[in-house]
């Protein structure tokens, strides 16, 4: 068992990691048995534990406004904001032959996304800009949005999220020529801690021509800066 001093040191270490938003792995950290329990049971258990959290905080769970909150939170966690944890919710990325031989970059910009910081479980929200150059096939535009949203609906750090989206698009499209830029606000920065409501965080992923050719990368950056 950890001594009191050991617990304090561990807690300080966790706080340090949380403040600096260090990611530990490209893959979302999941246990091997993460999906052995079905969603309904997860909702039931989270509801039970969240009710206890609210009780510990001193909230009156008999109040009409609060008594349904544990179930609402549990359902939201499993079915909505963290639904991207479950592989069964991964969008199928059907490809189509590029019959019109379009060989320039395709850019989809200003994709709205919502995620949650894995260190404090508070929202991250912003916009993603994605580009690719076809290697022979194309993808339905909405599938790009769905891929962004799928990986966003997990406890995340923005660096990992950006790389997961980029790598998934490379695999789904069968091309190395992929670019992703994400510009996001972190509530763990704006609503707690330093309480900075103005700063945003920008991360990028460049591969293939976007990484090796400055002209291609600059073309992408020019497109996403265009005014509507």
Q: pLDDT tens digits for 27-57?
A: 999 999 999 999 999 999 999 999 999 999 9
Could you list the beta-strand ranges (E) of 65-167. Answer: 95-97, 105-117, 123-133, 137-139, 155-156
Residues of the chain with pLDDT > 70: what percent? 89
Q: What is the CATH number of the domain that holds 39?
A: 1.10.286.10
Q: Are strands 105-117 and 95-97 parallel, antiparallel or unpaired?
A: unpaired
Structural contact between residues 219 and 105, judged by C-beta atoms closer than 8 angstroms: yes
Give the residue numbers spanning the domain of 208.
95-224
Structure tokens at 130: 């994605």
Whether residue 220 is found in the same domain as residue 132: yes
At a CB cut-off of 8 Å and minimum separation 6, what does 166 contact?
A: 178, 179, 180, 205, 207
pLDDT of res. 20: 53
The domain total for the chain is: 2
For range 121-137, the mean pLDDT: 96
74-106, pLDDT tens digit by residue? Answer: 999 999 999 999 999 999 988 988 888 888 999
When pLDDT is cut at 50, 70 and 90, the band that residue 11 belongs to is: very low
Whether residue 108 is found in the same domain as residue 210: yes
Going 175 to 183 to 153 to 119, the CA torsion angle's sign is positive
Determine the Cα–Cα distance for residues 102 and 118; give it in Å rounded to an integer: 40
Q: Does 174 reside within a domain?
A: yes
What's the number of CA atoms in the CB half-sphere (13 Å) around residue 212? 5
Q: Just list the catalytic residues.
A: 117-120, 158, 186, 188
What count of other Cβ atoms lies within 10 Å of the Cβ of residue 77?
19
Whether residue 109 is found in the same domain as residue 179: yes
Q: What is the CATH number of the domain that holds 201?
A: 3.30.1130.10
Whether residue 118 is found in the same domain as residue 47: no
Question: 220 or 93, which is more confident?
Answer: 220
- Is residue 9 scored above 50 in pLDDT? no
pLDDT of res. 214: 97
- Is residue 179 scored above 80 in pLDDT? yes
Q: Does 76 reside within a domain?
A: yes
pLDDT of res. 66: 98
The residue among 81, 109, 137 that closes a domain is 81
Determine the Cα–Cα distance for residues 226 and 19; give it in Å rounded to an integer: 34
Whether residue 144 is found in the same domain as residue 48: no
Q: Are strands 155-156 and 105-117 parallel, antiparallel or unpaired?
A: parallel
Q: Output the average pLDDT for the chain.
A: 90
The residue among 47, 81, 115 that closes a domain is 81
End-to-end CA distance of the chain: 59
- Report field, pTM of the whole predicted structure over 0.85: yes
Q: Which residues are annotated as a binding site for Zn(2+)?
A: 117, 120, 188
């Amino acid at each position: 068992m950890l001594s009191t001093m050991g617990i304090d040191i561990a807690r300080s270490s966790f706080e340090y990691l949380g403040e600096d938003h260090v990611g530990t792995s490209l893959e979302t950290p999941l246990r091997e048995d993460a999906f052995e329990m079905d969603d309904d049971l997860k909702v039931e258990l989270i509801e039970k534990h969240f009710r206890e959290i609210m009780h510990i905080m001193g909230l009156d769970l008999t109040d009409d406004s609060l008594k349904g909150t544990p179930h609402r939170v549990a359902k939201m966690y499993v079915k909505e904001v963290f639904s991207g944890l479950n592989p069964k919710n991964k969008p199928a990325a059907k490809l189509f032959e590029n019959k019109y031989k379009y060989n320039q970059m395709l850019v989809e910009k200003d994709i709205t996304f919502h995620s949650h910081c894995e260190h404090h479980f508070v929202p991250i929200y912003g916009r993603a800009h994605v580009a690719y150059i076809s290697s022979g096939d194309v993808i339905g535009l909405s599938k790009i949005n769905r891929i962004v949203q799928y990986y966003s609906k997990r406890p995340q750090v923005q660096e990992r999220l950006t790389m997961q989206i980029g790598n998934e698009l490379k695999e789904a499209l069968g091309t190395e020529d992929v670019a992703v830029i994400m510009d996001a606000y972190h509530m763990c920065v704006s609503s707690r801690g330093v309480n900075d409501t103005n700063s945003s965080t920008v991360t990028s992923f460049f591969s293939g021509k976007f990484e090796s050719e400055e002209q291609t990368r600059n073309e992408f950056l020019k497109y996403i800066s265009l005014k509507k």
